[in-house]
Amino acid sequence: MRRIQWTRYAGQPLPPNTKLITRPGKYGNPWKVGDGATREDVVARFESYLADRSQHPEVAYPSDDEIVRDLDGYDLACACNHHGPCHGDALIRHIHTLNLLATTGGAR
C-alpha cells in the first residue's frame, strides 16, 4: 500500500489496484488548503480527526470499517506530489494502525 501521484489531466489511466482519493469523492480530505491553511495544516487536521473523530462530529467521513473495507491493500492515488504531505499518507498510516489494533486484539 502506497501513495501515488495521479492527475486526471495528465491523460494516463488510473493504475491497477489503485483507489482514487481526491476530491470530489468520499475519501477526499474534508479540509482544504487556503484561508491561511497550508497543505501541512490540512493534512495534520485530517490525521488528528482520524485519531479522534469526536473533535469534528459535523464531518461525515467514511467509518474506520468502511475505510479498511474499501482501501486496505490498494495504492492510493492523489494529485499531491511526493515532496509534501498528503492526506493519503495519513490514510495509509491510519489503516496500518487499525490493522495492528485488529491483529493485537484491540478494539477498532
Cα gap 78→8, rounded to integer Å:
10
x/- map, 2-41, Zn ion, by CB under 5 A:
----------------------------------------
Cα gap 23→13, rounded to integer Å:
17
Residue 15, preceding peptide bond in cis (omega within 30° of 0): no
Residue whose entry in the numeric block shows the C-alpha cell 475519501: 27
Closest CB 41 distance from Zn ion, rounded Å: 13
Number of residues that bind Zn ion (CB under 5 A): 3
User: CA distances (Å), 52 to each of 13, 57, 64, in order?
Assistant: 35, 10, 11
For Zn ion, which is the closer residue by CB, 84 or 106? 84
Closest CB 102 distance from Zn ion, rounded Å: 26
Query: CA geometry: angle at 106 spanning 20 and 86, to 5°?
Result: 25
Binding to Zn ion by residue 78, rule CB under 5 A? yes
Closest CB 21 distance from Zn ion, rounded Å: 7
- According to CB under 5 A, which one of 42, 67, 86, 91 is a site residue for Zn ion? 86
Binding site for Zn ion (CB under 5 A): 78, 80, 86
